[in-house]
Amino acid sequence: MNVIPLPNVFQSLPGSFHVHKDTTINFSGELKATADLLCDFLAESIGSRPKRSNYSSINLTLDFSLEEEQYQLFVDRNSVHLSARTNRGAFYGLQTLKQLATVKDGRLFIDCCIIDDRPRFSYRGFMLDVARHFFPKEEIFRLIDLIAFHKFNVFHLHLTDDQGWRIESEAYPRLTEIGGKRKATYSRRLKGYAGPHQGYYTKADLKEIVAYARSRHIEIIPEIDMPGHMNAFIAAYPDASCLNKEIDVLSDFGISDITLCPGNKEVYQMLSRVILELIDIFDGPYFHLGGDEVPKKHWKKCPRCQKAIKDFHLKNEKELATHFLNYFAEFLRAHNKTPIFWNDGVSEKTSPGAVVQHWKYFTRKKTVKEINRGRRAVLSDYFYLYLDLPYALTPLKKTYQFEPLGKKIKNTANVLGIEAPLWTEWVPDRSKIDFQIFPRLAAVAEIAWTEKENKSYDDFIERLKNLYSHYRKMNVGFAEDKENQPNLFARAWGALSWFQDEDCELRKKKRRR
């Protein structure tokens, strides 16, 4: 069956259903949103939009015995029946239907089949870093459509970092006036700096993004990374750091030792106001607070930090970091939000309701311990799911064969799902986005959706051929077979080259054209 992610229960049948200009559709009123999207797809494919009729060959029906994200699909030569309990489930059935469809000479054919499908994990996420490189809302809309096509339901936006602040704040306008711009951008290939970079989303932009994602059954999770990765904030408001001196928004990449001052009461007040502004926009249950890569060098010499350690009966700067994050975890919970932290910011003393997002290499043992102790988790293992890494380091097969649960996780119900991040230090535009994430994102989709026992890499590679044809129709770039699965020599050379030239793989592709 030429569908990715592979349905969990299916039977292929001979023949196909032919959609023509006289084909009609009927649907339960509750499924109208999905029916409209199906009609849009058919109109784009054959130039004719099906009319609604009580006696139709295409039917969308409610079935309350199914789970929220489950759908059932029956296609024979005479009819198409899609059943779901919710619009969400019907929407996933529609994505399957799209991949089963073939257009020939202006006519559309849908492969006959029987499918009963539901996802393995409830959290199927993609993350885009818009701080290192800013992408306009139109690009976000495009990516929402593409991840929805792969049945993802979470889009995590990394909105702030040392290199840029990308969200409008009415309370603190300097965050975008100063923090939303940087003077230059470092390039390994150039061995120097490219020109300035700037951009941010207005509140109206963010509301549009949230609404558009909601229509595709995707939750947008905002992230304000703190107390590290905050140079753009500090450039706008220097008093927020322990050093209390003016700095620039960073033009280089890496970990800055300048962080927010967790002993400064005004920092808590400022961030609380910013978070409140975002809570009014992002209506989902989760809010990401970062918490990763926090150098504590300046805290050791900061009178305010040392006073906070003493006042709150903390042992050291590490506990001060936990105290800082727990403050905002409780603040979010008071506003009906669940906090998420990167795993290197989580300890046994971290608020128990906070979700841990595992990413850091060589720390999985600690994360597994947290999961088995009862903490919920999202898994984003660096060497398998980081989409910004070159294919030389993380080829397609390596990603596909990643097993999230492993043998050491006992409380598997605490694993919400997986998320594939795209960090954009070296990803400045759409062509690089597409090359980095496709087709690896298809592999991630199958990890998240398809049960382990139903997966096969050889079968996945065969099904990719059909997916590639859909990518081409949607004008989506991707790394082709030799590019996404280089041989051992090419991997070794490619890895060495990437550390000198971040665009080496994509430029090699362009030279072959």
- The pair of structure tokens assigned to 211 is 């609404």
Q: Which of 293, 319, 480, 501 is catalytic?
A: 293
Q: Which two tokens stand for residue 292?
A: 């990763």
- Residue 372: what are its φ and ψ, rounded to 5°? -70, -20
Neighbours of 211 (CB within 10 A): 11
What value does the CA radius of gyration of the chain take, rounded to a whole number of Å?
24
**If we measure between CA atoms, which residue out of 226, 223, 231, 245 comes closest to residue 321?**
226
Question: Of the candidates 345, 59, 497, 513, which has an alpha carbon nearest to the alpha carbon of residue 505?
Answer: 497
To the query of whether residue 44 is one of the catalytic residues in this protein, the response is no
Contact between 39 and 97 (Cβ < 8 Å): no
CB crowding 257-269: b at 16 or more within 10 Å, else e: ebbbbbbbeebee
Q: Classify residue 344 as left (phi > 0), alpha (psi -120 to 50) or beta.
A: alpha
Q: In whole angstroms, what is the distance from residue 32 CA to residue 445 CA?
A: 26
Residue 260 is given by DSSP the state: B
Cα 380 from Cα 336, distance rounded (Å): 25
Judge whether 236 and 133 are in contact, CB under 8 Å. Answer: no
Q: Which of 133, 158, 229, 288 is catalytic?
A: 229
Residue 348: both structure tokens together: 């046994």
Active site residue 419: no
* Nearest Cα to Cα of residue 235 among 320, 172, 154: 172
- Active-site residue, selected from the candidate residues 129, 161, 225, 502: 161
Q: In terms of Cα–Cα distance, which of 381, 375, 376, 389 is closest to 422? A: 389
Q: Is 161 annotated as catalytic?
A: yes
Would you name the residues annotated as active-site residues?
A: 161, 229, 293
